[in-house]
Amino acid sequence: MSMHEPESSRSPLPAVEDPPRHWSELSLDGLRDYRRTLAAEEEKISYWRRLVHARIDVLEAEAQHERGLTIDELVRVLGDTGAGHGRTALVSVEAAAPLPDLPVLEEMWVTELDPNDPVAVAEAVNRLRVAEKQLTQYRHGLHQRLDDATGELIVRYREAPAAALVAFSRPHRRTGGMS
């Protein structure tokens, strides 16, 4: 797919189950399950965003050297976010989880790229930035749905405070086969 192709013709991200028309359509357990599904999807998308960011950083760092990066340089590049903060995250993403349907994500790991070819590096970085933008937009939508579902949970817990105690009476479950 050409990097000049309009964004509207690119493959969309996978759709997470739409919210109900009215929250009353979901039981309390259904609402909790819906929110857990959203949270698991947000975790996965955040993981892929971090990988895209790391790949951009490596490509840009390699382009500044006449040779491959040393281990120390690679550690510095991947450890520094540019804002003085190291990259740290606790994630529980399944290794076999499918990639989101982004046109450039599978190309992210192409290693035949010549770091001394500024045009090839710029095109690769541009494709990755498009992927990052799509992931970010999708993630923002997930955050809005999470906020809405959390708000509805708060309303229900205020109406029936004992319903919130279920978190203490049974173990937390995740959806999507993750544990």
**CA-based nearest residue to 163, from 23, 38, 32:** 32
Which of the pair, 169 or 156, is modelled with greater confidence? 156
Whether 1 is in a domain gets the answer no
Tell me the per-residue pLDDT of 103-136, one tens digit each, with 9 for 90 and over. Answer: 556 666 666 778 788 898 898 888 888 888 988 9
Whether 56 is in a domain gets the answer yes
User: Which domain covers residue 63, as residue numbers?
Assistant: 26-169
Measured CA to CA, the distance from residue 80 to residue 57 in angstroms comes to: 9
Dig out the tokens for 66 from the structure.
């006449």
Whether 9 is in a domain gets the answer no
Angle between helical axes of 28-63 and 71-79 (0-180°, round to 10): 140
pLDDT at 21 over 80: yes
Query: How many domains does the chain fold into?
Result: 1
Tell me the per-residue pLDDT of 68-112, one tens digit each, with 9 for 90 and over. Answer: 778 888 888 888 655 555 555 555 555 455 555 655 566 666 667
Whether 42 is in a domain gets the answer yes
pTM above 0.75, yes or no: no
pLDDT for the residue 114: 80
CA-CA distances (angstroms) from residue 47 to 21, 26, 58, 176?
A: 30, 29, 17, 16
Whether 2 is in a domain gets the answer no
**CA-based nearest residue to 132, from 68, 43, 46:** 46
Give the side-chain half-sphere CA count within 13 A for 114. Answer: 5
